[in-house]
Structure 1
């Protein structure tokens, strides 16, 4: 598949099914863009691995014992550094939406060709949000803020008050890099190029809801 990479994308897996784990290991092992760091059978072990190893993207199942996909995303919410997460599970639109709201960077159904997962993970590692299972344009048009996590919504509201990145870091007890990470995700979800455009989305939405 892909050629050798000077800086491969470091990845970790979590899935309850050993056959899925072996399949992922084989799939990504044949693509030299990636380097496998972690393989876990449940969410608890995955979160433990995050604390001990550095990697770029985690590919996780949704239904797992000892910490499901939701628990993993909630466990990573304020952790820095943390891998970006791609949820790889069944074709469930509600799960895809919830995963996005909880901070996942990507989602792919297991009914898709496995090779599609390689592209999704590569794009997520570059900083993109990848939800091919959802019509993100329609979701954002219906409610621009619905795809934001609670932390992203809080940051956006403080942006509207005029806080700088440094002010946001102090306000929320986060590092400047973590603030930049959240803002990058926030801008991408809203289709905004900068903070002014993001604030305009918030103000426009609030005006639209006014009686």
Structure 2
């Protein structure tokens, strides 16, 4: 078994599944240390605080995860981290959105243990893993024939790609708060706030916080931010 020097974070709100994935990573893939978290914010916090994390596994159905596009923040701020979705979703659109966000693999939760190990090993060896169901089309057309609905929505509205937390951050940027103040308002680490800011700047297509504040003030209907 090849041993990996980098650590991993497993983000899933099901503690039993987290334990199972951590066991697979340690016993079969040689990952020496696993950080288990239950939300996207906690995963971003771990990545911000632990620069030796090299592998990150994410469920799509957990607090803070709006859609697979939410993972663009991870890929933007931690390009060296191998990022894998391990999800119960069998929607082709979810796979396409995850790949568009830059993930290195999409592994169905329904896979048996051997298939899961094989898929993760492929990613660790430098390949991109995609489940077989993406080739199945109800109408018999080619997989790339249709444009996913969420892609069209994101193109029409830049905020559609933002997570609820990133919308809160944008609200507070418009209100004039610094990263430190936003971290205090939302009970987050300052490093996590920086990641959310970087992600929303990219989603809005603006170069800096001032431009984001101007865009948000003109276009964003701001609900009251809450932690």
Band the TM-score falls in, shorter-chain normalisation: 0.5 to 0.7
Partner of 2:11 in structure 1? 14
How far is 1:129 from its partner? 0.8
Aligned to 2:72: 74
1:40 aligns with 2:37: yes
Q: Equivalents in 2 of 1:12, 1:69: separation in Å?
A: 19
Structure 2: give runs of 5+ residues left out of the alignment.
Answer: 137-141, 152-227
Matched residues in 2 for 1:60 and 1:36: separation?
16
Q: Which has the higher contact order (CA 8 A, sep 6+)?
A: 2
Which of 53, 63, 75 aligns to 1:55? It is 53
Question: Aligned to 2:32, what secondary structure does the other structure show?
Answer: strand
Question: Does residue 46 of structure 2 align to residue 31 of structure 1?
Answer: no
Are 2:75 and 2:103, in contact at CA under 8 Å, matched by a contact in 1?
Answer: no
CA distance in 1, matches of 2:5, 2:11: 20
SS of residue in 2 equivalent to 1:129: coil
2:119 maps to: 120
Shift of 1:23: 1.5
User: Any idea what SS the aligned residue of 1:131 has?
Assistant: coil
Are the structure 2 counterparts of residues 4 and 75 from structure 1 closer, same or farther at C-alpha, using a change threshold of 3 Å? closer
Kept in 2: contact 1:60–1:69 (CA 8 A): no
CA–CA distance in 2 between the matches of 1:69 and 1:49? 20
Query: Does 1:89 find its partner at 2:118?
Result: no
- TM-score normalised by length of structure 2: 0.53
Give the alignment's TM-score, normalised by structure 1: 0.57
Partner of 2:135: 135
**Structure 1 segments (4+ residues) deviating >6 Å:** none
Paired residues in the alignment total 141
Distance in 2 between residues matched to 1:120 and 1:77, nearest whole Å: 20
Alignment of 1:161-200 (within 5 A): none
Using a 3 Å threshold, how does the CA distance of structure 1 residues 19 and 127 change in structure 2: closer, same or farther? same
1:9 and 1:46 map into 2 onto residues whose CA distance is 16
SS of the residue corresponding to residue 38 of structure 1 reads strand
Q: Secondary structure at the match of 1:47?
A: helix
